[in-house]
Structure 1
Amino acid sequence: MLKIGITGGIGVGKTVVARMFKLLGIPVYDSDSRAKWVMHHDDSLKADLIAAYGSQAFNEQGELDRAYIASIVFNNPEKLQRHNSLVHPHVRNDFEKWVKQHTGKPYVIKEAALMYESEAWKQIDKMIAVYAPMDVRIKRLLLRDKHRTEADIRTIISKQLSEEEKMARADYIVTNDDQRMIIPQVLSLHKQFLELASAN
């Protein structure tokens, strides 16, 4: 089965693009929400997280304390890398299982912000990068994430792979700059992916 990746930095509109593919009947794997699910339901990963962060990693209801973990890893590159090395392999395995549940579809989509950093790109046949200019991204994020300042947003962006590298490594680029319509771009890609899938 053809596996298509969607990536891009915070605020570019990856989820909007992924949602359009979903409306076309294409299954979409949301890596962020699946990572949360895996951290709650994979017993071996839960044990690893407790070993790494102590019993405080999960609250009394058995839910992951994301704020506590974020406070430890966010400003510590070594601890963040360690955290990702615990979680990402489990998410990759989860994706492989998920793909097997959708074998009747011509192709599937995997949406991930950290597609290259997590090496999830190795599971993908073709990659879409979603692009938006920096000023547009910041304006969107200030509207969406009321708890963040522009400085916070720029810090997050600075920790992600550069847009230039994402664009250079992509097979396709969707421009989401509030000027170009996204729907025609997605419909064109959908047509190409159906042709690719039928040729395989």
Structure 2
Amino acid sequence: MLRIGLTGGIGSGKTTVADLLRSHGLPVIDADLIARDVVKPGEPALAELAEAFGHDILNEDGSLNRSLLATRAFVDAKHTELLNSITHPRIKAETARRFAVAEAAGEKAVVYDMPLLVDNGLDKDMDLVVVVNVDAETRVSRLVKWRGLTEEDARRRLDAQISDEQRLAAADVVIDNNGHLECLDRQIADLMVRIRGLEVE
């Protein structure tokens, strides 16, 4: 089974690319969705996060206040690493389970949509690494406009990730998402040709 790692810096439009690949029939394992699942009420990771970052990160119904956690977890590298040490082992285990399910179902290729693919060295486990690339200033403006972040918070989150240069160095395919959707569609079509070719090798 072909494992396709899909990544990109925050605000790059990686989710849009994942949706387009899904529309072409590729199953997608979404690390962000898995990350939400592992911190649901009753999950051990949620209790550990409350201990590490303060019990007020829990809403009245016991769910995680993700925005409050983010303001504390991304304040510096030390706190980001603390967050990762709690959540990443659970995300890794659930991801492995979902890959196994896909392989057992006879899937020929699976997309792993993972923001920190290169940051965590997981690109080396992929057969093909696809990086969605957008210039940093555009990503900041998108985060402010579409996610409601302050400019300061947006830049802090960008800074918490590896550099664009490091991410691009790991890429087998770079999707340029600085332009219009039509341009993106053409690049996805070309990528699908490459993927289908790899499936039959």
TM over 0.5: yes
Is residue 172 of structure 1 aligned with residue 190 of structure 2?
no
Alignment CA distance shift 1:127-1:34 (3 Å): same
Q: CA deviation at 1:37?
A: 0.9
Query: Do the aligned partners of 2:41 and 2:62 also contact (CA within 8 Å) in 1?
Result: no
Tell me whether 46-55 or 98-107 shows the greater mean CA deviation: 46-55
The question of 1:146 aligning with 2:126 is answered: no
Aligned counterparts of 2:46 and 2:141: Cα–Cα separation in 1: 37
Checking the alignment, whether the CA contact within 8 Å between 2:3 and 2:128 is kept in structure 1 is yes
* Residue of structure 2 in register with 1:12 after alignment: 12
One-letter code of the match for 1:133?
A: D
| 1:127, distance to aligned residue in structure 2 (A) | 0.6
Which runs of structure 2 are paired with 1:106-125 in the superposition (5 Å)? 106-125=108-127
1:85 aligns with 2:85: yes
Q: Which residue of 2 aligns with 1:31?
A: 31
Partner of 1:2: 2
- Whole-Å Cα distance in 2 between the matches of residues 52 and 155 of structure 1? 20
CA offset digits 1:5-30 (Å, max 9, x no partner): 11111222111111110001111122
Q: Percent identity?
A: 29
Q: TM-score, normalised by structure 2?
A: 0.86
1:182 Cα deviation from its structure 2 partner: 1.1
Structure 1, gaps ≥5 residues long? none
Contact 1:88 / 1:118 at 8 angstroms: preserved in 2?
A: no
Instruction: Return the TM-score normalized by structure 1.
Output: 0.86
Of 179, 183, 186, the residue aligned with 2:185 is 183
**Is the 1:84–1:118 contact (alpha carbons within 8 Å) kept by the matching residues of 2?**
no
Deviates more, 1:179-188 or 1:11-20: 179-188
Distance in 2 between residues matched to 1:47 and 1:158, nearest whole Å: 27
Instruction: Check conservation: 2:75, 2:156, Cα contact below 8 A.
Output: no
Hey, what's the Cα distance between the residues in 2 that align with 1:192 and 1:41? 41
Over 3 Å counting, the alpha-carbon distance change for 1:172 and 1:141 in structure 2 is: same
> What amino acid does structure 1 have at the position aligned with 2:96?
E
Corresponding residue for residue 128 of structure 1: 130
**Deviation at 1:170?**
0.7
Cα 1:132–1:123, aligned 2, differ >3 Å: closer, same or farther?
Answer: same
Deviation string 1:68-98 (CA, Å, 9 cap, x unpaired) is: 4334322132122021011111111111111
2:102 aligns to what SS in structure 1? coil
Q: After the TM superposition, which of the residue ranges 169-178 and 135-144 deviates more from structure 2?
A: 135-144
- Is 134-143 or 181-190 further displaced after alignment? 134-143
Q: Is the 8 A contact 2:31 2:112 kept in 1?
A: yes
Q: 1:43: how far off?
A: 3.4
CA RMSD of aligned residues (A): 2.3
- Gap regions ≥5 residues in structure 2: none
